[in-house]
Amino acid sequence: MKSLLLSILLALFGLVSSTLIASDTVYYELWDISSLEMIGGHTVTAFGDPQVVSTEIGDAVQFDGDGDRLLVDFNPIMDAKEFTVELVFKPDACYPDNTDPRFLHIMDPDDPEEKRVMIELRVDANNMCYMDGFMKTDAGSLPLKDETLVHPTEVWQHVAITFKDSTLTTYFNGVEELSGTLHYTNAIVNTVGKTSMGARMNEVKFYAGLIKTLKVTHAKLAPEDFTFIHDSIGTSAPDESLLFGKDQMEVFPVPADHRLTLKLSPEQLGTNVEIRVLSSSGAIVHARKIDDALEDNLNIDTSRLQDGIYFLSVSTQNFTSFSRVVVLH
């Protein structure tokens, strides 16, 4: 029986990892932000002097925080009533010059109601950033931000917002942060519109840093289906394993029974490490912070977890690593 259950779990494990690739029923737009003329097959207008630069994860667009903006002639949300918006980006340590960049703004510029979907950042005096997810519909508006939920700048990060059944939720590196209720009467946003990256649509609140990937899916995705940083790595990366943890850590045994062992890499030793274990629905089932990690083997108690697939997030000042794990008692 146990071997049968293991086979099922491992089959599901493989299925989860390829959900978006295999699906032909959910519409999505996946944009590689590496051009100033055409993104996702849509025409782009560049303002200021944004630059296409080579990065550790392939070409991306760099914004200087002083007039740089891209305007894509398309609204990827269209008429969707539920959706997920994701961004892979690397914000600059830009305090006090760019403390509140509105670096993603989806809206019809001709909409008198200014219905819109936005992902914003706030950068504090310690050059840490926190997310502000914002929506305005024809029935109201909702900002979601918490200045205590800070994350480092100068490293690649992943943010996401989901909307379904009048619930807006924000995620940072796959971990749910905030959620709230926002209703609409007839429309969330106008079906037509544009996408502004690097600033608000009216060219204020500029962003300093890099943007690599934007993905909009016409469904509420679970965190395990997000397009994480390691999914955005391009062919120009010189040594991706040193940055994003594809090979940064070992997790064993597979499957785990009562205990899971995490072996840190040399790059992770001596740093402040934050460990989170998430269920397949995105709920945090284990969280642990270690100041100045000195031991390379860390044990996680899995004895109280139910059998199934979980997702491990290990964050340091320099990168975030992700791994899928199976628990089977």
Which of 324, 306, 328 minimizes the C-alpha distance to 19? 324
Same domain, 222 and 190: yes
What integer pLDDT is reported at residue 281 of this predicted model?
53
Q: Are residues 141 and 254 in the same domain?
A: no
Question: Is the Cα torsion angle 242, 54, 211, 216 positive or negative in sign?
Answer: negative
Please list, residue by residue across 165-177, b when 16 or more beta carbons sit within 10 angstroms of its beta carbon and e when fewer do: ebebbbbbbbbbb
CATH number at residue 91: 2.60.120.200
How many Cα atoms within 13 Å fall on the side-chain side of residue 65? Answer: 17
What is the rounded distance in angstroms from the CA atom of residue 58 to the CA atom of residue 32?
10
pLDDT of 16 strictly over 70: no
Each residue of 253-308: pLDDT tens digit?
A: 988 899 999 888 777 777 888 888 877 655 678 888 888 777 778 889 999 888 88
Picking from 231, 264, 289, the residue at the C-terminal end of a domain is 231
Instruction: Give pLDDT, residue 15.
Output: 41
Q: Are residues 171 and 35 in the same domain?
A: yes
Do 265 and 196 belong together in one domain? no
11 lies in some domain: no
Considering the domain architecture, whether residues 212 and 284 belong to the same structural domain is answered as: no
Q: Is residue 9 a part of any domain in this protein?
A: no
Residue 87 has pLDDT above 50, yes or no: yes
Residues 208 and 283 in one domain: no
Residue 16 lies in a domain: no
Are residues 207 and 130 part of one domain?
A: yes
User: Is 226 inside any structural domain?
Assistant: yes
Instruction: Look at residues 22, 26, 81 and name the one whose alpha carbon lies nearest to residue 215.
Output: 26
**Is residue 49 a contact partner of residue 61, using CB atoms and an 8 Å limit?**
no
Could you give the number of structural domains in the chain?
Answer: 2
**Among candidate residues 231, 264, 292, the one where a domain is terminated:** 231
| 294, part of any domain | yes
Asked if residue 268 and residue 222 are part of one domain, the reply reads: no
pLDDT at residue 66 greater than cutoff 50: yes
Domain boundary among 190, 209, 231: 231
Residue span of the structural domain in which 85 resides: 26-231
Check whether residue 134 and residue 270 sit in a common domain.
Answer: no
- Whether 170 maps to a domain, the answer reads yes
194-210: b (≥16 Cβ within 10 Å) or e: bbbbbbbbeeebbbbbb
CATH classification of the domain holding 251: 2.60.40.3080
Q: Is 220 exposed, middle or buried (0-12, 13-18, 19+ CB in 10 A)?
A: middle
pLDDT grade for 228, boundaries at 50, 70 and 90 = low
Give yes or no: residues 183 and 316 share one domain.
Answer: no
Are 181 and 267 in a shared domain? no
Is residue 17, in this structure, part of any structural domain at all? no
Backbone φ/ψ region at 165: left (φ over 0), alpha (ψ -120 to 50), beta: left
pLDDT tens-digit profile of 113-170?
A: 999 999 999 999 999 999 999 999 999 999 999 999 999 999 888 999 999 999 999 9
In a domain, 83, yes or no: yes
Contacts of 29 (CB under 8 A, 6+ apart): 40, 74, 76, 214, 215, 216
Element containing residue 152 per DSSP (H, E) = strand 151-152
Pair (113, 206) in one structural domain = yes
Give the pLDDT band of residue 248 (cuts 50, 70, 90).
Answer: low
